[in-house]
Amino acid sequence: MDGNLVSGGSVSVTRAEETPMEETRLQRHIRAPWRGLALWLLGIPATLVGLWFLTVVSMITSFVGVLLFPSAAMLLRTQLDAYRIRINRWTDAKIQRPYLPEGEIEPGLNGMFKRFIALIKDPATWRDYLWVVVDPCVTVFTAALPGLLILYGLWGYTLAPFTGGLIGHYGGSDWYAYIPIVDSLSLDAGRFVSTFTIATVCIVVGYLIGPKMLNVYGQWGRFILGPTRKSELALRVQHLTETRSDAVDASAAELRRIERDLHDGAQARLVAMGMSLGAIEHLLDKDPEKARTLLAETRESSAKALHELRDLVRGIHPPVLADRGIADAVKALGLDHPLRVEVDADLPARPEPPVESAAYFAVSELLTNAAKHSGASRVWIDLRYESGMLRITVTDDGRGGATMTNGTGLRGIERRIGTFDGVLALSSPVGGPTIVTMELPCALSSPKTSPS
Amino acid sequence: MRVVIAEDLALLRAGLVSLLETHDFEIAAAVDNGPSLLKALLDHRPDVAVVDVRLPPSFTDEGLQAALEARRRVPGMPILVLSQYVEQLYARELLADGSGGIGYLLKDRVFDAAQFVDAVRRVAAGGTAMDPEVISRLVASNTRDTPLSRLTPRETEVLELMAQGRSNAAIAERLVVTERAVTKHTANIFTKLDLPVTGDDNRRVLAVLAYLNR
């Protein structure tokens, strides 16, 4: 679960990645050389796409070139995503897509031209091309090297006993490393043994350096295929712009709701009470009995107004949250909830109030979801603070099958905590259980001093 | 009966003082913040205290904390907690020691002077006074499989009123039945909740606790 969380700033914060199986060291060493070769072979389609890209670029002065350029650039991107996915999966390097965000695609000639300019101005487009050109050479000396060494060793094994002379005869290379193989090796014990030794060394070294070389390759991949400082900032700006407008929208909607609640509720009741009091004043002498009933009604009305105000305030800033912080506030939520809720909290101190509030309402909504959709009977909530993150896990034993999009409101929660660079990950296989994990980066205030 | 009052709004504090004075309470101290509340409770050892949850200097649950601390040092000190809001969490914390003499009411209940003074007296006598709002929220969220689900609707109703701190007579009057019928219901409740046979008052508190802890 946890490995899937990508910290904020990237475009796609929640990705439904499959969790890679944890490999043993041995497995890594055995697999790495072949992965390196696979990366090398990826160069073949990549080079073809690169050639097409170059062709389109050469036509760029003509209308056809302008017309084809976006599609060629996109094709190149998709092709190189294959590298990114494999490097992310196989090496320690983590590469994000570096491309500058594209705005809305406008229809018509004008929009097409704008897109062309945007793509041609994106340095990542040209870095992609650089990759296609340079990578095959780099791969040979990094990722593919172990695999090639092993193949060379195997080649030595087959040469050693018998085929040396044959190859020499048909005009192949006369040497294996420094050993002449023109004559059949099997006739000369010394040369046989050294060939065998070199072959073995090649294979062993190949397996030994496999993972290391893959990681070196990963670094290289991140250098060219990853975001540059500039595009990182551009991506960050885009993320912030999106979350900021989400935050503004959300708080505006909230204010509208509060205004409406006050207008229809407490305010209306106060007006009614004022009128009743006027009537009572009028009736006091003429019909004391009637005044008395009206008075009771007015008192009732004032109690209702108070009640409504109380609910309203609870919705804005829950009292327990204000008094005690997120842990106890979530416990209080659990107590008021129809399902059986178990809360386990381990927080050394309180997070900043806005983060607390966002986390609280997120949990509140998740609980509402669980009660409404999941068919669960129990819910477990776990709150802890680890390496600068407030991590909240909400698990229910319901029927599962929840997605981010099917009306569960998860997208809304994600957006709301996104304002604080928080991320949300969902795991909900059909049949349950549903696990929602949220992580919010935040600082903790110093532990609250006891009031006594 | 000596009483300590803690309320930070001067107007409300004065109101409480005059209300309780007219009902023959003796005001031992009326304070407006958490630390001096704890001091007053420990110095005066009042027969009952009326305490606002939210008090300066922190304006969080200072009053509640002081009340809990005082009861830790003087077990069973009768305290009636007043608040703008009632929370199940706080209700449980107040009742957790199981020694009774606890009240937890919304501030609006002060409007009805007679009922409020009645609640103060009940708490002073070692009973409980839970706000109907706490109780109704409990009922709303209580759909789980617990010993409480064994109670009949009528018994649940009786337990609700008992949790509010009402006597059998008051419950009978409220439900329009005879007091004997209520006694029968309470006996059933005690049996169904497996409560030990001890003094009636203590069992009533335990029943409420069971109710809250589900």
pLDDT value at B138 more than 80 = no
Inter-chain contact B65–A338, Cβ cutoff 8 Å?
A: no
Q: Answer whether residue B12 shows pLDDT above 50.
A: yes
pLDDT score, position A16: 36
> In angstroms, what separates the C-alpha of B185 from chain A's closest C-alpha?
26
Q: What is the pLDDT of residues A5-31, one digit of tens each?
A: 333 333 333 333 334 456 788 888 888
Are B111 and A303 within 8 A, CB to CB?
yes
User: Does the beta-carbon distance from A452 to B137 stay under 8 Å?
Assistant: no
Does B54 touch chain A if contact means CB atoms closer than 8 Å?
yes
Give the pLDDT score at A10: 36
pLDDT of residue A331: 92
Average pLDDT, chain B: 84
Can you give the pLDDT at residue A167? 59
Give me the phi and psi of A437, to 5 degrees please. -115, 130
Count of C-beta atoms within a 10 Å radius of residue A76: 22
Q: Can you tell me the distance from the alpha carbon of A284 to that of A291, in angstroms, rounded to the nearest whole number? A: 6
* Least confident segment among A341-345, B38-42, B168-172: B168-172
B66 close contact with A: CB closer than 8 A: yes
Q: B146 — contact with chain A (CB < 8 Å)?
A: no
Angle made by CA atoms A233, A239, A241, in degrees to the nearest 5? 100
Q: pLDDT tens digit string along A264-288?
A: 888 888 898 999 999 999 998 888 8
Q: Which of A16-30, A226-240, A349-363 has the highest mean pLDDT?
A: A349-363
Contact B88 A319 (CB under 8 A): no
| Of residues A333, A368, A351, A320, the one with CA closest to residue A439 | A351
What number is the average pLDDT over the span A413-438? 89
Residue A353: both structure tokens together = 């109030």
Q: Residue A336 and residue B141: Cβ atoms within 8 Å? A: yes
Determine contact, residues A389/A435, Cβ cutoff 8 Å: no
Distance, in angstroms, between B180 CA and closest chain A CA? 33
CATH superfamily of B2-132: Response regulator (3.40.50.2300)
> Of B165 and B4, which is predicted with more confidence?
B4
* Least confident among A158-167, A296-305, B63-72: A158-167
User: What does the alpha-carbon distance between residue A80 and residue A57 come to, in Å, rounded to a whole number?
Assistant: 18
For residue B67, give how far its alpha carbon lies from the nearest alpha carbon of chain A (Å).
Answer: 10
A119 has pLDDT over 90: no
Contacts of A273 in chain B (CB under 8 A): none
What is the average per-residue pLDDT within A212-241?
86
Q: Which pLDDT value is given to residue A5?
A: 37
Q: Which residue in chain B is spatially nearest to A303 when comparing CA positions?
A: B108
Each residue's pLDDT tens digit, A61-86: 888 888 888 889 999 999 999 999 99
Per-residue pLDDT, A29: 87
Distance CA(B109)–CA(B116), nearest Å, equals: 6
Which residue of chain A is at minimal alpha-carbon distance from B60?
Answer: A323
Average pLDDT over chain A reads: 83
Work out how many CB contacts closer than 8 A connect A with B.
Answer: 60
CB contact under 8 A, B89 and A332: yes
Chain B hits for A450, Cβ within 8 Å: 65
| Residue B49 binned pLDDT confidence (cut-offs 50, 70, 90) | very high
Query: For residue A340, which residues of chain B lie inside 8 Å, CB to CB?
Result: 144
A chain contacts of residue B54, beta-carbon cutoff 8 Å: 319, 323
Report the candidate in A367, A304, A289, A285 with the shortest Cα–Cα distance to residue A334: A367
Contact A306 B108 (CB under 8 A): yes
| Residue A157 burial by Cβ neighbours in a 10 Å radius (0-12, 13-18, 19+) | middle
Decide: A149 and A195 in contact? Cβ < 8 Å.
Answer: no
* Structural contact between residues A358 and A417, judged by C-beta atoms closer than 8 angstroms: yes
Interface of A with B (CB under 8 A): 299, 302-303, 306, 310, 313-314, 319-320, 322-324, 328, 331-332, 335-340, 450-452
The owner of tokens 């205290």 is B49
The confidence band for B69, taking pLDDT boundaries of 50, 70 and 90, is: very high
Least confident segment among A208-217, A227-236, B187-196: B187-196
Give the residue carrying structure tokens 């897109």.
Answer: A115
Per CB-CB distance under 8 Å, the chain B contacts of A451 are: 34-35, 57-58, 60, 62, 65-66
Q: Which of B88, B108, B143 is nearest residue A338 as measured by Cβ atoms?
A: B143
Chain B positions in Cβ-Cβ contact with residue A322 (cut-off 8 Å): 60
- The whole-angstrom separation of Cα A267 and Cα A241 is 37
Pairing of strands A389-396, A434-441: antiparallel
Task: Give the H/E segment covering residue B171.
Answer: helix B168-175
Report ipTM for this prediction. 0.77
* Adjacent-strand bridge partners of B81: B51, B104
| Contact between chains at A451 and B85 (C-beta distance less than 8 A) | no
Q: What is the mean pLDDT of residues B92-119?
A: 86
Residue B38 sits at the chain A interface (C-beta within 8 Å): yes
Query: How far is the alpha carbon of A336 from chain B, nearest alpha carbon, in Å?
Result: 6
Could you count the other beta carbons within 10 Å of the beta carbon of residue A92?
A: 12
- Closest approach of chain A CAs to the CA of B179, in angstroms? 29
Looking at residue A297, its amino acid is E
B136 touching chain A per CB within 8 A: no
Residue A426, strand partner residues: A436
Q: How far is B66 from chain A (nearest CA, A)?
A: 7
Residue A325 has pLDDT above 80, yes or no: yes
* pLDDT one-digit tens code per residue, A159-177: 766 655 555 556 556 667 7
Residues of A with Cβ-Cβ distance to B65 under 8 angstroms: 450-452
Q: What is the pLDDT of residues B89-105, one digit of tens each?
A: 888 888 887 777 889 99
Q: Which residues contact A103 (CB under 8 A, 6 or more apart)?
A: A118
Residue A178 CA: distances (Å) to CA of A148, A167, A322, B88: 18, 16, 79, 85
User: Under CATH, what is the fold of the domain B142-213?
Assistant: Arc Repressor Mutant, subunit A (1.10.10)
Q: Is the pLDDT of residue B82 over 90?
A: yes
For CATH 3.40.50.2300, list the domain ranges present in chain B: 2-132
The runs of H, that is alpha helices, within A226-325 are: 229-262, 268-286, 288-316, 319-324
pLDDT at B208 over 50: yes
Domain spanning A320-441: CATH 3.50.50.60:
no
pLDDT for res B211: 65
Name the residue with higher pLDDT: A7 or A435: A435
Neighbour tally for A191: CB within 10 Å: 19
Does the beta-carbon distance from B87 to A332 stay under 8 Å? yes
- pLDDT, tens digit, 9 for 90 and up, residues A408-421: 688 888 888 888 88
Q: Is B34 on the interface with A (CB under 8 A)?
A: yes
Among the residue ranges A88-92, A174-178, A190-194, B23-27, the one predicted with the least confidence is: A174-178
Residue A129 and residue A447: Cα distance in Å, rounded? 54
| Chain B hits for A335, Cβ within 8 Å | 88-89, 92, 141
Q: What's the pLDDT at B3?
A: 94
- Check if B114 contacts A (Cβ < 8 Å): no
Query: Which candidate, A305, A341, A335, A304, places its Cα nearest to that of A318?
Result: A335
